[in-house]
Structure 1
């Protein structure tokens, strides 16, 4: 059985949080880009569907982050 130091665990959590923040920023940028393309090209159905998929992914990402934070604060 392996035991890790508290500092090591905190550094791993910090690294993962940085990756998740980067993922959220990229996902937000993609959503804004697709939304702008959809508003420019009203005929295109594919952009509307991509906006919906991207918005749902962004919503689930935000809900997951909120759920993780509420779970951490309950200790």
Structure 2
């Protein structure tokens, strides 16, 4: 999950950077280097954020499962 999130985030950043460079009229070679650098940086950020999100979801799922399977504290009369 973290890797998929990181890939998507880096591709979005790459596309945005290329479009930004085209609009500002930056040189092609410089634009690709800047876009690649930004994509790599956002890939790393995406890995961290994706891993944190995975852990939060797993933790919540375990807690929810524990609540469902735990014996009820309310006694029937």
Task: Compute the TM-score of the two structures, normalised by the length of structure 2.
Answer: 0.46
Task: Give the greater-gyration-radius structure (CA).
Answer: 2
Task: Compute the TM-score of the two structures, normalised by the length of structure 1.
Answer: 0.47
